[in-house]
Amino acid sequence: MNIIGLLFIAAVTLLSGCNNDAEFSYTPQFSDTKHSSIKQYIFGIHPLHNPQRLHDVFDPLMQYLSNNIPNAKFKLEASRNYAAYDEKLYAKKFDFGLPNPFQTINAIDKGYRVFAKMGDDENFRGIFLVRKDSTIKQTTDLIGKAVSYPAPTALAATMMPQYYLQTHGVDVMNDLDNRYVGSQESSIMNVYHGDTIAGSTWPPPWIALSKERPELARELKVIWQTEPLCNNSFVVLPSVSNKIVNQVQSLLINLHKNDDGMKILEKIILSRFEIADNETYQPVRDFVTTFSSTIRPLNQENN
């Protein structure tokens, strides 16, 4: 064999050896990341506060549930106002919800069920704020003047106060300039700035905002308050497994029994959560029936 042939054979052998080395030296690489089996649940909370404050107050609760229920993540969804929240709730966009009691009875009719509620029913009442230098002394002094409320469907902060006025000498729909200003904080600030002569809210937002802004406590006072009703509910869609619902319920009703839970409740301005069911909210149905017949109809606004 001539020199050219020998060189050719050597080259082929060398290349073959390289290919074999490449083939047998290859080590498959496997990712350490496992396929996630975590299920995300959307938790829609009604506008107790403006969206930023709502996240500040309730995100710790969402994190607590996520940390204590395996393979589950709870994500808070805030809404810009009551109308936006109502639309999503009634369209079943939330797996879990924390609606007010009026929204609760509508949610039940849409297929949700109640499994727990906020405690401290004595705090679920409407309050009226006026400036301390106000000349308002009795309810009839409001006639012809502007009064602020968060939203038409806010039960404690709007509907219950309007019923209070109606039963204390004021024809709410004809005697007042009713202004629905979008949030609890806005209703309070309208009074502080003098845009309305009085404003309604309920105790937790007033307590929280007046602590943050001491000038509000210096300039405003609570002049009247309503009788209480049962507090806000927790509702869930039937598509969520009973196992998950039971775990959420257990964590909620035992929250006040540990230090982390107490910190969460302190931000919410609440002592505890309680077990509840659909029947718990029958008194709210009775109130809504009376309100609708004596002040203004509600069906068209909320269905």
User: Rounded to an integer, what distance in angstroms lies between the CA atom of residue 189 and that of residue 195?
Assistant: 8
Give CA separation, 113 vs 67, 95, 96, 222, in Å: 24, 11, 10, 35
Specify the CATH superfamily of domain 39-122+230-302.
Periplasmic binding protein-like II (3.40.190.10)
User: Rounded to an integer, what distance in angstroms lies between the CA atom of residue 220 and that of residue 131?
Assistant: 4
pLDDT above 50: residue 159:
yes
The answer to whether the CB of 184 falls within 8 A of the CB of 49 is: yes
Mean pLDDT of 155-179: 97
Tens of pLDDT along 216-266? Answer: 999 999 999 999 999 999 999 999 999 999 999 999 999 999 999 999 999
**pLDDT value of position 302:** 40
The reported pTM is 0.81
User: Rounded to an integer, what distance in angstroms lies between the CA atom of residue 89 and that of residue 45?
Assistant: 9
Specify the 3-state DSSP secondary structure of 261. Answer: helix
**pLDDT higher at 97 or 27:** 97
Mean pLDDT of 48-55: 89
Class of domain 127-225: alpha beta
**pLDDT value of position 49:** 84
Same fold, 39-122+230-302 and 127-225: yes
**How many Cβ atoms from other residues are within 10 Å of residue 52's Cβ?**
9
DSSP string, 116-142: EEES-GGG-S-EEEEETT----SGGGG
User: Rounded to an integer, what distance in angstroms lies between the CA atom of residue 70 and that of residue 39?
Assistant: 9
* Tokens at 243, concatenated: 């196992």
User: Rounded to an integer, what distance in angstroms lies between the CA atom of residue 288 and that of residue 161?
Assistant: 13
List of long-range contacts for 241-250, beta carbons under 8 Å, 24+ apart = 244/41, 244/69, 244/72, 245/115, 247/68, 247/69, 247/72, 248/65, 248/69, 248/96, 248/115, 248/116, 249/115, 249/116, 249/275
* Tokens at 35, concatenated: 């396929």
User: Rounded to an integer, what distance in angstroms lies between the CA atom of residue 63 and that of residue 57?
Assistant: 12
pLDDT band at 141 (very low <50, low <70, confident <90, very high): very high
**How many Cβ atoms from other residues are within 10 Å of residue 292's Cβ?**
13
User: Rounded to an integer, what distance in angstroms lies between the CA atom of residue 52 and that of residue 49?
Assistant: 8
Specify the 3-state DSSP secondary structure of 75. Answer: strand
Q: Given the structure tokens 């937002």, which residue do they identify?
A: 205
All structural domains of the chain with their residue ranges: 39-122+230-302, 127-225
- The mean of the pLDDT values for the chain is 89
pLDDT band at 50 (very low <50, low <70, confident <90, very high): confident
Nearest to 223 by CA among 207, 205, 200, 204: 200
Least confident segment among 73-87, 158-172, 180-194, 286-300: 286-300
